[in-house]
Structure 1
Amino acid sequence: ETAPRTIFQRVLDILKKSSHAVELACRDPSQVEHLASSLQLITECFRCLRNACVECAANQNAIRNLDTIGVAVDLVLLFRELRVEPDSLLTAFRCGLQFLGNVASRNEDSQAIVWVHAFPELFMSCLNHPDKKIVAYCSMILFTSLNPERMKELEENLNIAINVIEAHQKQPESEWPFLIITDHFLKSPELVQAMYAKLSNQERVTLLDLMIAKLVGDEPLTKDDVPVFLRHAELIASSFVDQCRTVLKLTSEQHTEDEEALATIRLLDVLCEMTANTELLGYLQGFPGLLERVVDLLRLIHEAGKDTTNIFSTSGCIKAEGDISNMAEGFKSHLIRLIGNLCYKNKDNQDKVNELDGIPLILDSCNIDDSNPFLTQWVVYAVRNLTEDNSQNQDLIAKMEEQGLADTSLLKKMGFEVEKRGEKLILKSTCDNPPP
């Protein structure tokens, strides 16, 4: 903390001199074998600079003002051009990135200079590096340097954003790619929309999983998050409406691990969590075509499961060990859960499900099925939301019971019974405190 500026000037001079040897080796591969001492010097320079920047704005400023950042970025970019990667090169490479991360940490002026020199080349060349630590340190620099204005530049360089998703996919335990996505990407609906169109199905699943993590996390969505997530809801709902029938590919043995279908299943999972959020529910309850698509898809997979033995067929017994490996696990439950959410205190949607003959379909889906845990509970939930303050839907279920189309024991298990009052059939709850 008391180091004079001249110390950093000397370190920079050593760095510049040693970098000439790296430049020569890049032009002439035969020079690589003579690089060992230069790389060792470079490593020690970077270590010195890296450590001097830790929680010390004065040193960060002094080092930045000498244009050390530009020299360091140029050197790191040269490292990628060296065809041989001995351990000494890897150590110098890592220390260089750590220095760039530390010089920018909590220092806006340094962040601006790092961004000018590093974007986009450094991120494009390091985020997909085979060394995990290099990917992590590069992600640290990107996380530290990003702000709302620079996010717009990422929209024009989508490959960098996609590389971050890939990095998280490969290293889910690494905190920096995770933080870039949750703290920066998910706050930019424009970037998410542009990126989603270009992602592979596996990468989409990774992004959607992080969206779910944000929705179900310990911290509720803030006031600033809500308008952003309303935009995300538009993307998720429209994608589901367009693609939901791809799930039917899973009925064919050739497509039991179809990645497009898996991405569609994850869209449904996100919609379930979004509609569990009161701030987002109203928008999705009115989303054009969503409820119709969900009821339609429930009917198609219900019929497909009855027609032939496939991934959507009911498994009539619960396995003791609970080992359910198929990728469509819980899909029917989640469709019914989503219908229940979309009908919560919403008369128009309650009536729409009735018009689509969705109520008999939901009741017919209530079987023990180890591929759909909690299926009965979600049917109970959906029926409660469909019948709350809706005498027409209550009458329909009461008549179904009288005609033998609804199983009395099943209705009792669900907490309902039908009572005859004169000529009128009344569906009433047998629970004092119905489950939420």
Structure 2
Amino acid sequence: MAATAGNNMDISASIAGVLKDKHSPAHLQVLKTFTAALRDEEYRDAVEQETFSSLLGVLARLQEELQEELQDAQRDSDGLQLQLTAECFRAQRNSCVQSKRNQNLLRELGFIDVSLKLLSLLQASDFGSQDAAFEPLRSGIQFLGNLGVGNQMCKDDIWQLSFPEILLQLLSVEDEKVVDYTCMVLHTCLDEAKVEDLSKPQNIKLALRLMELCRTQPDLDWTVLTVTQHFLKSSALVESMYSEMCHNERVTLLELLLAQMREEDLDECGIHTSVAHFLASSFQQGCGAVLTLATGSASSEDVLQEALTVISLLDVLCEMTSDRKQFMFLQDHLDLLVTTVELLKQVHAIGKASKNIFSTTQNFSSFAEDGDEDPSSYSPVISFKAHLIRLIGNLCHSHTSNQNKVRELEGIPLILDNCNIDGNNPFISQWAIFAIRNLLEHNTQNQELVAGLEQRGPVDYSALKELGLLMEERDGGFLLKTVRKDS
């Protein structure tokens, strides 16, 4: 039921009384009544500026009193000031719901500045019970979120007054709701220009803190939304974050990139093409780290994480080149193709030279359906060879010069030699079929090479048949056909 004009005046007078008198539980009840009344749309639209001015006065007074308490090492034994602060924030939060008029009014009166100063004070201080301080923190941050929804001027003011220090402070509070609500405010305020602000060296800590939260608290929805909907669309920010991250943080970033691409349509991926350039270059520069996993030299956690970063980079590049038009320019990066083929050669040779992490295995226990296996026993290079072959196949799809380059690098027999079942590389045969098809399609020289392998020993037509393929000579050329393996 809508509040009457008389009730409006009564509440307004009561709030003015809170501003003048010594705090009491009755004042808390006045504020709770105001908060409840603001849930009604008709009442929200009828609240006068004078009432909000009185509320701002109460908030400013609470800020001064809490500051004095800290300086004098005193404590409010019943926590009344914190309860009053939380209720002021709740009233502000409710007043902004679907009300641009109230958003603008609170902005013009100066609520943003006073509220942020109070939040900064609360997060940095010990007011006895942490829960007592968390309640006003949560409500105050929710107010900022409601204030900014659909209101660019409010967003800009919140950003100007809170970025980066206060936002970084709030993201460091040991309370999940405070952190999640802060991410909500950050998500609400961000636009292209503000994301660029984050990429600057003096501000990068805020972006890195959010990435750390994605890794350590992945269940916080607003952290992941902010990264996927804003951060990943800025090549400058992605590069700045990547250069400042340790390896396990880079893995988190790459996992989010991969998940984002898989969730979006092939032609509507919001990730900038410059990000693909950067990640391809990073893969080329660091791919050798994977080889240390075979020698036992990967004794430190950092070395292992560096290798896992390379593996994650490969996964992202495979996804980017899977018929995504915006990223298919990577086919023209000849160095990327050469690096991938050479790495496959090295990994394959190391696996054959002795028993190690790259050797073929018939053990599929890592994929037990019941989940009985200890995750720590999983091989870190699961599917690595298969994905190298997948990337080669992607880069050669309808690309004659890349098909020829793989032939020159002796990559075709190499791929044929990886058609066997391998517990460390499930589906490697399927990716080999895919790659061989792309290498032979409309390429007579590659077809002739495969046909000639019949007389060359271990890599012959039986290997093709194992892949489910058959080379058939026809009209002076060669035709690749699919056959059943048991035929």
The answer to whether TM tops 0.5 is: yes
1:335 paired with 2:378, answer no
Match of 1:390 among 435, 443, 452: 443
Distance 1:262 1:85 in 2: 44
1:290 paired with 2:333, answer no
1:53 paired with 2:99, answer no
1:222 paired with 2:268, answer yes
Equivalence for 1:82: 125
Note if contact 2:419-2:467 (Cα within 8 Å) is conserved in structure 1: no
SS of structure 2 residue aligned to 1:32? coil
Equivalence for 1:198: 244
Note if contact 1:128-1:167 (Cα within 8 Å) is conserved in structure 2: no
Distance 1:17 1:35 in 2: 18
1:145 paired with 2:189, answer yes
Equivalence for 2:149: 105
Note if contact 2:439-2:446 (Cα within 8 Å) is conserved in structure 1: yes
Note if contact 1:398-1:425 (Cα within 8 Å) is conserved in structure 2: no
Match of 1:247 among 290, 298, 303: 290
Q: Report the CA distance between 1:350 and its aligned residue.
A: 0.6
Match of 2:207 among 152, 161, 169: 161
Equivalence for 1:314: 360
Letter in 1 for 2:389: I
Distance 1:12 1:427 in 2: 81
Check 1:421–1:125 CA distance in 2 against 1; reply closer, same or farther (3 A cut). Answer: closer
1:22 paired with 2:66, answer yes
Letter in 1 for 2:218: P
SS of structure 2 residue aligned to 1:163? helix
1:358 paired with 2:411, answer yes
Distance 1:288 1:347 in 2: 12
Q: Over residues 6-43 of structure 1, what are the superposed CA-to-partner deviations in whole Å (9 max), with x where a residue is unaligned?
A: 22122211111111121123323x21344711111101
Check 1:247–1:85 CA distance in 2 against 1; reply closer, same or farther (3 A cut). Answer: farther
Distance 1:286 1:327 in 2: 30
Q: Over residues 239-269 of structure 1, what are the superposed CA-to-partner deviations in whole Å (9 max), with x where a residue is unaligned?
A: 0010111111211335276111111110000
Question: Which sits farther off after the overlay, 257-266 or 30-39?
Answer: 30-39
Equivalence for 1:430: 482
Note if contact 2:214-2:223 (Cα within 8 Å) is conserved in structure 1: yes
Distance 1:33 1:249 in 2: 60
Check 1:77–1:358 CA distance in 2 against 1; reply closer, same or farther (3 A cut). Answer: same
Q: Report the CA distance between 1:54 and its aligned residue.
A: 1.5
Distance 1:45 1:384 in 2: 68
Q: What is the aligned-residue identity percentage?
A: 39
1:348 paired with 2:385, answer no
Q: Over residues 315-336 of structure 1, what are the superposed CA-to-partner deviations in whole Å (9 max), with x where a residue is unaligned?
A: 1244472668222111011000
Q: Over residues 289-324 of structure 1, what are the superposed CA-to-partner deviations in whole Å (9 max), with x where a residue is unaligned?
A: 101110111111111111222221111244472668
1:121 paired with 2:165, answer yes
Distance 2:406 2:330 in 1: 15
Letter in 2 for 1:233: A
Q: Over residues 107-140 of structure 1, what are the superposed CA-to-partner deviations in whole Å (9 max), with x where a residue is unaligned?
A: 1111111112111111121112221111111111
Note if contact 1:418-1:425 (Cα within 8 Å) is conserved in structure 2: no
Letter in 1 for 2:311: I
Check 1:159–1:393 CA distance in 2 against 1; reply closer, same or farther (3 A cut). Answer: same
Distance 1:186 1:221 in 2: 16
Equivalence for 1:12: 56
TM-score, normalised to structure 2's length? 0.83
Q: Report the CA distance between 1:218 and its aligned residue.
A: 4.0
What is the CA RMSD across the aligned residues, in angstroms? 2.1
Q: Over residues 156-191 of structure 1, what are the superposed CA-to-partner deviations in whole Å (9 max), with x where a residue is unaligned?
A: 211111111111112212221112111111221111
Distance 1:400 1:387 in 2: 14
Check 1:124–1:374 CA distance in 2 against 1; reply closer, same or farther (3 A cut). Answer: same
Letter in 1 for 2:351: G
Structure 1: 5+ residue runs without aligned partners? Answer: none
Distance 2:444 2:212 in 1: 51
